[in-house]
Amino acid sequence: MKRKTTPDSKIKPEFPGKPSVMHEANRMKRLPLYLFTIIDDLKAKAAARGVDVIDLGMGNPDLPTPPHIVEALHNAAKKVENQRYSRPKGDVERRFKQAIAKWYHQRFGVELDAEREVLPLIGSKEGIAHLSLAFLNNDDIGLIPSPAYPVHFNGVIMAGGILVSLPLSAEHDYKPVFKPLSKEITRMAKLMLVGYPHNPTTATVDLDFYREWVDWGKSKEIIMASDLAYSDIVFDGYTAPSLLQVPGAKELPCIEFHTCSKSYNMAGWRVGWVAGNAEILASLEKTKSYIDFGIFRAVQEAAIAALTGPQSCVKEGVEIYRKRRDLFVEGLKKIGWEVAKPKATFYIWAHVPPKFSALSSLEFVQLLVEEAGVVVAPGTGFGEYGEGFVRFALVEPEERLKTALERIGKVLNISG
């Protein structure tokens, strides 16, 4: 292979046939273009043209972290012992794990051994990525529903495993269908990851879904992982169940990821956890111990305050999202774009309107940015089966959402 770039072109290469250092590893080349890179790029281009961009692209909560949580961070950050490396057996670390176990018990009636069945993470995204690294060899399959939150499939690719997508469709309420899976694929599968309430489709499940999944998976030597990031962002009386509520789940290879990012508006703080089967957690902890030093202790104190403090802040946030959802779904209807009203999450999953069906979801998103100054996420950013859709993240105040609707309405009409 010819050398394309060298850091300094005056240097005469000692090994002329050797590929440039600028070539990324093959595992990186196999990754699809990252969703948020696409979104950031579109945003930056529009902003550079002087457009007042309304960003409904990334699921990045705009609401503030509740003050008692910020206060806990503030106090904890001043203590010297909290400024040192986090150590797994430390006092703060032990209390954080206990707070998580207690939360699980209060919330789902699930008993967890705080020491062995809970593992704090630097955000659930980190843990999901490292799960594949911990468990997948290059002949192991990760079964990942599509569309999905990108790290679900990118984690499998980065770890060098084989990605097999399970198509989700409205016809099956965006739940994976197991029947078409061949015996060979099921035999090679080592990991399956689902996430409900679902990002991006907003689909929800009841406990029977997890019961059936565990029934299917328990004889197959497959790690069953659930991503419960949106368990608190639920509306109209719906409550989201946990995989670990299935009797015996944590004795099977079942684990569940969760995060403070959405419930407590702590996305930038980087704190989450995984709970469930102790052996799987031990391997994940071992993997992480070679890579990171855990979570800043002051952030752990803040997360303890979040989980053990008043939960009215969660309800208040949900109410704001519910109002935004109602406003936006109604508003889209008025401009001729019918979408389903989600029971959970702060997203809207919408078909690209029929008169734009000749466009890919990315082309349609580009059109919305250019003509309306509104950024939304293209369905393909969530995997191949996201094509034909876009996702709105309702992370702007109502006034901005109204403006977005007006601008989108003009685009839909002008082009009609």
Ligand X SMILES: Cc1ncc(COP(=O)(O)O)c(C=O)c1O
Q: Which residues bind ligand X (CB under 6 A)?
A: 59, 123-125, 149, 195, 199, 227, 229, 259, 261, 267, 272
* Cα–Cα distance for residue pair 302/309, rounded to 1 Å: 10
* Three-state secondary structure call for residue 196: coil
Burial label, 247 (beta-carbon count in 10 A; 0-12, 13-18, 19+): exposed
Strand (E) or helix (H) holding 121: strand 118-121
Say how many C-beta atoms besides its own lie within 10 A of residue 62's C-beta: 15
* Least Cβ distance, residue 379 to ligand X (angstroms): 15
The owner of tokens 């984690």 is 155
Where in 277-416 does DSSP place strands (E)? Answer: 347-351, 374-378, 389-393
Read off the tokens for 267: 């996305």
Dump the DSSP string for 77-91: HTSGGGGS---TTSH
Torsion (CA) 361, 364, 365, 371 in degrees, nearest 10: 180
Spacing of C-alpha 276 from chain mean position: 19
* Cα–Cα distance for residue pair 263/95, rounded to 1 Å: 20
Query: Which DSSP letter does residue 92 get?
Result: H
Vertex 77 angle, CA 75 and 83, to 5°: 145
Instruction: Return the bridge partners of 194, or none.
Output: 226
* Three-state secondary structure call for residue 334: helix
Burial label, 407 (beta-carbon count in 10 A; 0-12, 13-18, 19+): middle
* 13 φ, ψ (degrees, to nearest 5): -65, 135
248: left (phi over 0), alpha (psi -120 to 50) or beta: left
